[in-house]
């Protein structure tokens, strides 16, 4: 009976994906009209033109920029232990693809992940020929997971997490997800709560571990701090800098209002503004111009920006460098109910860090930092301005908060080594 039910669920889901296929094509073309990057290698979304790899590749899936960044220590470990195996990283977004190129250059392959039609999925597997699949965080793709099961390809959810909101959504389709998680999947959960939530969806308790978050194993690229200091001195004349990173539409208004207040008290301070999505760069330039801000952007020809009030990062892959040049950090996606973005990078640099109240996508990191009094939560532009000015005027407090954050990062490292030990036990080198 269970087998019949599974087959029915599988068949029904396959019919659904094919029925939605024309709408997906239309949606993606429409998306590409507004952002040409989505048209790049679009055929890969539909099952064609993947890299033709040697048998036994290691497949890592990372949705976008943050997840790609988190793969760095994992990729380095795999390269070291299994140098003969191709590595391919798939992403959903073009910004994720660009991040793969910027970080790994030609040392790994890249492809966009196919849409969930059985045809596209089979073509994808036939081309990349993986012997193991590593999926970052919470990406659940029923047809991809099923194909791993059919081909007996071990699949591990790395740093797996599931929010309370996502759990509720998944439970609406519990039979499908219970069937999806039944294919011998290994779950390396970030926390005990995450592990329990996956088990409630049908994951095998004996194949679900609490492994921690590999993002903590993040290592700063060589000379990052040094290069940040050079940038601050040469391009900004050592002016005090606060950075607002990974911001979304609606947040820039709040941030710029805060900066107006800051400039009334510290007229020498510069705001570095780093929007989350590249397609918004031009719109933000227009806004800065319309609102009469004295601004420069990274793509400007000028190398020095001594007099600008706002500096816009309109490039990809340089956020860490500008964090290193800054004195204070605000992490976006948190002033609106988006869920927040990566707090790890400013914390690892020992920056006093500020966030809005909506951090549900970064709950573990937020809790750790708040408990150590290493993260300040604000709710509006006035509170943001006051906190930036407090950090600016009180260097000792700023330094203490930053050092606490850095200590949190250092004290939580080790997920990668634990994961690799598990992989070595389960998949001996000769199998890979």
Name the 3-class secondary structure at 202.
Answer: coil
Give the start-end residues of each E strand in 278-336: 295-297, 310-312, 328-331
Cβ pair 111, 126 in contact under 8 A: no
Count CB atoms within 10 A of the CB of residue 367. 13
Report CA 188 to chain centroid distance, whole Å: 17
What is the rounded CA–CA span in Å between residue 412 and residue 419? 14
Q: Which of 67, 116, 137, 364 is catalytic?
A: 67
67 is catalytic: yes
Name the 3-class secondary structure at 94.
Answer: helix
What does the block give as tokens for 399?
A: 């330094």
Count CB atoms within 10 A of the CB of residue 103. 17
Cβ pair 189, 195 in contact under 8 A: yes
What is the rounded CA–CA span in Å between residue 226 and residue 15? 55
What does the block give as tokens for 354?
A: 């500020």
Nearest 5°: CA angle at 43, between 41 and 47?
130
Residues marked active site are found at 67
């Amino acid at each position: 009976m269970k087998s019949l039910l599974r087959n029915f669920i599988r068949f029904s889901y396959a019919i659904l994906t094919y029925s939605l296929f024309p709408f997906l094509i239309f949606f993606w073309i429409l998306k590409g009209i507004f952002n040409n990057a989505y048209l790049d290698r679009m055929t890969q979304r539909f099952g064609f033109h993947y890299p033709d790899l040697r048998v036994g590749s290691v497949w890592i899936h990372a949705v976008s920029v943050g997840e790609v960044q988190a793969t760095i220590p994992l990729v380095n470990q795999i390269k070291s232990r299994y140098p003969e195996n191709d590595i391919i990283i798939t992403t959903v977004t073009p910004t994720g693809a660009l991040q793969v190129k910027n970080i790994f250059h030609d040392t790994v392959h890249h492809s966009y992940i196919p849409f969930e039609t059985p045809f596209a999925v089979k073509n994808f597997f036939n081309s990349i020929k993986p012997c193991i699949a590593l999926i970052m965080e919470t990406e659940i793709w029923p047809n991809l997971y099923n194909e791993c099961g059919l081909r007996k390809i071990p699949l591990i959810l790395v740093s797996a997490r599931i929010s309370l909101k996502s759990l509720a959504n998944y439970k609406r389709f519990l039979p499908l997800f219970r069937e999806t998680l039944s294919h011998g999947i290994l779950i390396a959960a970030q926390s005990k709560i995450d592990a329990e939530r996956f088990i409630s969806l049908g994951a095998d308790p004996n194949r679900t571990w609490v492994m921690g978050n590999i993002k903590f194993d993040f290592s700063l690229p060589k000379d990052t701090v040094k290069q940040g200091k050079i940038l601050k001195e040469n391009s900004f004349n050592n002016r005090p800098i606060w950075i607002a990173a990974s911001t979304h539409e609606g947040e820039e208004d709040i941030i710029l209002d805060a900066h107006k207040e800051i400039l009334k008290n510290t007229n020498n301070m510069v705001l570095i503004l780093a929007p989350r999505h590249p397609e918004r760069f031009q719109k933000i330039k227009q806004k800065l111009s319309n609102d009469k801000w004295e601004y420069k952007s990274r793509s400007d020809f000028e190398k020095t920006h001594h007099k600008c009030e706002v500096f816009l990062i309109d490039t990809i892959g340089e956020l860490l460098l500008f964090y290193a040049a800054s004195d204070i950090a605000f992490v976006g996606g948190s002033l609106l109910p988006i869920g927040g973005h990566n707090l790890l990078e400013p914390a690892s640099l020992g920056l006093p860090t500020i966030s809005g109240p909506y951090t549900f996508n970064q709950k573990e990191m937020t809790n750790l930092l708040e408990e150590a009094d290493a993260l300040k939560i604000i709710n509006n532009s006035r509170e943001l301005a006051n906190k930036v000015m407090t950090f600016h005027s009180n260097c000792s407090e700023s330094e203490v908060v930053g050092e606490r954050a850095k200590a949190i990062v250092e004290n939580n490292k080790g997920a990668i080594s634990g994961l690799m030990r598990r992989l070595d036990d389960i998949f001996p080198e000769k199998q890979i």
